[in-house]
């Protein structure tokens, strides 16, 4: 056999729809891959093309199965194809089904009722779902302590007054039921402003 009949061994020839330079750039972004040859990058580009073709064909079959088929493939078609086909199941985290805000809100309300956090009025929201937290000035020893809405005894009277509630909400977390703590008994010195000479 003449030596000219055997084709010389060389790089794989062919064309790819994806630009090979971008495929190489994406491969270079992976820290696990130190170097990638041109034939390997070409095969990755061809494999990516066939994967995109398989995914789009699956999504197109979802579109054709609808009552009123469309000409365009939308995200919801891709998500439905991923959910239906076992071969695309690995993409369920990457291409999840879309959920409306109304469904999410209803789900959170159901979970809140199961967890016992649905005691608040509809539309009223608080941080942490426990109720408001106020800082109360203790008149006996002059210290401030935190008061949970569930633990209030004297605060229930103030909560009934809507103006008082509005005032407390506008003051934020530094709310106190007394305007200023009273000084301790037996203390006579005045801590007011002093003129400097």
Condensed to tens digits (0 to 9), the pLDDT of residues 178-190 reads: 445 555 555 555 5
108, part of any domain: no
* Domain count for the chain: 2
165, part of any domain: yes
Q: What whole-number distance in Å separates Cα of residue 183 and Cα of residue 18? A: 78
Q: What whole-number distance in Å separates Cα of residue 131 and Cα of residue 193? A: 38
User: Given pLDDT bands bounded at 50, 70 and 90, which one contains residue 122?
Assistant: low
pLDDT higher than threshold 70 for residue 114: yes
Greatest Cα pair distance, the chain, in angstroms, is 119
Q: What whole-number distance in Å separates Cα of residue 134 and Cα of residue 165? A: 11
DSSP 192: S
Q: What whole-number distance in Å separates Cα of residue 133 and Cα of residue 71? A: 56
pLDDT on residue 69: 81
Reduced to 3 states (helix: H, G, I; strand: E, B; else coil), residue 172 is: helix
More confident residue, 115 or 139: 115
Q: What whole-number distance in Å separates Cα of residue 36 and Cα of residue 21? A: 12
Reduced to 3 states (helix: H, G, I; strand: E, B; else coil), residue 147 is: strand
pLDDT on residue 14: 77
137, part of any domain: yes
Percent share of the chain, pLDDT over 70: 58
Reduced to 3 states (helix: H, G, I; strand: E, B; else coil), residue 23 is: helix
Condensed to tens digits (0 to 9), the pLDDT of residues 47-96 reads: 999 999 999 999 999 899 888 888 888 898 899 999 999 899 899 888 88
Domain span at residue 34?
20-73
* Residue 172 backbone zone (phi > 0: left; psi -120 to 50: alpha; other: beta): left
155, part of any domain: yes
159, part of any domain: yes
Q: What whole-number distance in Å separates Cα of residue 140 and Cα of residue 93? A: 58
81, part of any domain: no
104, part of any domain: no
């Amino acid at each position: 056999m003449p030596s000219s009949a055997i084709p010389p061994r060389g790089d794989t020839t062919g064309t790819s729809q994806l630009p090979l330079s971008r495929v190489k750039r994406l491969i270079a972004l992976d820290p696990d891959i130190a170097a990638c040859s041109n034939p390997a990058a070409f095969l990755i580009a061809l494999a990516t093309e066939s994967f995109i073709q398989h995914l789009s064909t699956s999504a197109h079959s979802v579109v054709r199965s609808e009552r009123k088929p469309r000409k365009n493939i939308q995200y919801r078609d891709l998500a439905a194809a991923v959910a239906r086909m076992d071969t695309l199941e690995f993409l369920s985290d990457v291409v999840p089904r879309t959920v409306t805000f109304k469904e999410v809100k209803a789900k959170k309300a159901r979970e809140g009722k199961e967890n016992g956090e649905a005691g608040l009025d509809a539309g009223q929201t608080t941080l942490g779902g426990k109720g408001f937290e106020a800082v109360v000035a203790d008149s006996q020893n002059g210290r401030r302590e935190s008061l949970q809405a569930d633990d209030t005894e004297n605060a229930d009277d103030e909560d009934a007054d809507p103006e008082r509630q509005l005032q407390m909400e506008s003051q934020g977390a530094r709310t106190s039921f007394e305007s200023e703590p009273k000084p301790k008994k037996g203390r006579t010195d005045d801590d007011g402003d002093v003129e400097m000479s």
